[in-house]
């Protein structure tokens, strides 16, 4: 017989989660299916799948896709360089730095890039002296590609943190076995390494995607709302309060975000579990 008393120790944590995650989540769900008068309706979901809100989802999606893909490649190469070159203390230093960079972001990051690549930024100035005018062709830091560069600053370190254990999981014996048996280096990578790390890399891609999809602070501070990503739209709907059913539309946008992130994270967790099981 199960002893229900055994579960009493979990009550504080469960109560806390229900109060501060359950209630907010319920509120979002309920309001997203209501108009501002409290009548039940599906209008909000019609609103967010058309016009500027559909564009916002598309913009957020593209930004997350590009930033995840680019940081996946760059971060992996960087982590490969760090592990393969075997320079003493380098690995410790890089993983500490990555821990810091992956965990910062937001407002300070935006200001650092304004100081570097903004219209009057120092790097912009240097490049201008070298004859490269970044701002000549109507490019700005506050555009899509500018924000993409800024996002790499926390996405690549996250990729490095995740890649280091993946690369260290590639055993020396595998390479030695393959090379002794006469496999060329390229074949070894294609037939041995790729199948092993592909699921892990795909899981990491999803992690990077959701990380950038959910990010708000960096975009808000850098573009002051001019680049209409979904989180930016939610914040402006809540704070401006001019649109009919504005808050309800924001909640529906929230439900949309939760669905997309939820799907990606579910696949991520399933893949991660399989990898862990396989590794042990």
Q: Are 237 and 253 in contact (CB under 8 A)?
A: yes
Q: Are 78 and 156 in contact (CB under 8 A)?
A: yes
Asked if residue 242 binds other proteins (CB under 8 A), the reply is no
Quick one: which of 63, 68, 141, 156 contacts other proteins (CB under 8 A)?
156
Residue closer to other proteins (CB basis): 138 or 241 = 241
Residue closer to other proteins (CB basis): 199 or 246 = 246
**Distance (Å, whole) CA 244 – CA 37:** 10
Instruction: Give the CA dihedral 69, 73, 79, 82, nearest 10 degrees.
Output: -150
Provide Rg for the chain, Cα atoms.
23
Minimum gap (Å) between residue 278 Cβ and other proteins: 18
Q: Where are the beta strands (DSSP E) in 49-189?
A: none
CA angle 102–159–64, rounded 5-degree value: 85
Asked if residue 236 binds other proteins (CB under 8 A), the reply is no
Contacts to other proteins from residues 5-64, by CB under 8 A: 6-7, 9-10, 12-14, 16-17, 19-21, 23-28, 31
Site string for other proteins, 115-154 (x = CB under 8 A): xxx---xxx----------------------------xxx
Quick one: which of 68, 207, 227, 271 contacts other proteins (CB under 8 A)?
207
Minimum gap (Å) between residue 253 Cβ and other proteins: 8
**Distance (Å, whole) CA 9 – CA 7:** 5
Quick one: which of 56, 178, 251, 271 contacts other proteins (CB under 8 A)?
251
Asked if residue 202 binds other proteins (CB under 8 A), the reply is no
Minimum gap (Å) between residue 137 Cβ and other proteins: 22
Contacts to other proteins from residues 172-191, by CB under 8 A: none
Kindly state the number of chain residues that form the binding site for other proteins, as judged by CB under 8 A: 86
**Distance (Å, whole) CA 159 – CA 143:** 24
Six-digit token string for 96: 């500490």
Minimum gap (Å) between residue 12 Cβ and other proteins: 6
Nearest one of 163, 148, 188 to 76, comparing CA atoms: 163
Site string for other proteins, 55-84 (x = CB under 8 A): -------------------x--xx-xxx-x
CA 22 to chain centre: 24
| 119 Cβ contact list (under 8 Å, min separation 6) | 135, 140, 141
Asked if residue 85 binds other proteins (CB under 8 A), the reply is yes
């Amino acid at each position: 017989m199960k002893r229900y008393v055994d579960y009493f120790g979990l009550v504080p944590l469960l109560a806390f989660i229900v109060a501060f995650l359950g209630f907010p989540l319920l509120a979002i769900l309920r309001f997203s299916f209501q108009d501002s008068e409290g009548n039940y309706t599906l209008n909000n979901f019609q609103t967010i799948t058309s016009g500027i809100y559909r564009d916002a989802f598309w913009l957020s999606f593209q930004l997350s896709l590009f930033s995840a893909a680019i940081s996946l490649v760059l971060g992996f190469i960087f982590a490969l360089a760090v592990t393969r070159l075997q320079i003493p203390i380098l690995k410790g230093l890089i993983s500490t730095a990555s821990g810091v960079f992956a965990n910062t972001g937001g407002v300070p990051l935006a200001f650092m890039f304004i100081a570097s690549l903004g219209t009057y930024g120092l790097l912009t100035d240097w490049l201008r002296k070298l004859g490269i005018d970044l701002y000549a062709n109507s490019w700005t830091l506050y555009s899509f590609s500018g924000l993409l560069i800024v996002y790499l600053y926390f996405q690549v370190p996250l990729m490095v943190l995740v890649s280091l254990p993946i690369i260290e999981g590639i055993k020396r014996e595998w390479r030695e076995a393959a090379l002794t048996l006469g496999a060329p280096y390229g074949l070894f990578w294609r037939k041995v390494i790729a199948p092993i790390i592909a699921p892990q890399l795909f899981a990491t891609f999803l992690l990077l995607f959701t990380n950038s999809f959910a990010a708000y602070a960096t975009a808000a501070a850098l573009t002051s709302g001019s680049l209409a990503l979904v989180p930016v739209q939610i914040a402006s709907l809540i704070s401006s309060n001019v649109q009919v059913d504005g808050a309800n539309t924001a909640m529906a946008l929230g439900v949309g975000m939760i669905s997309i992130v939820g799907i990606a994270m579910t696949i991520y967790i399933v893949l991660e579990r399989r990898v862990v099981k396989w590794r042990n």
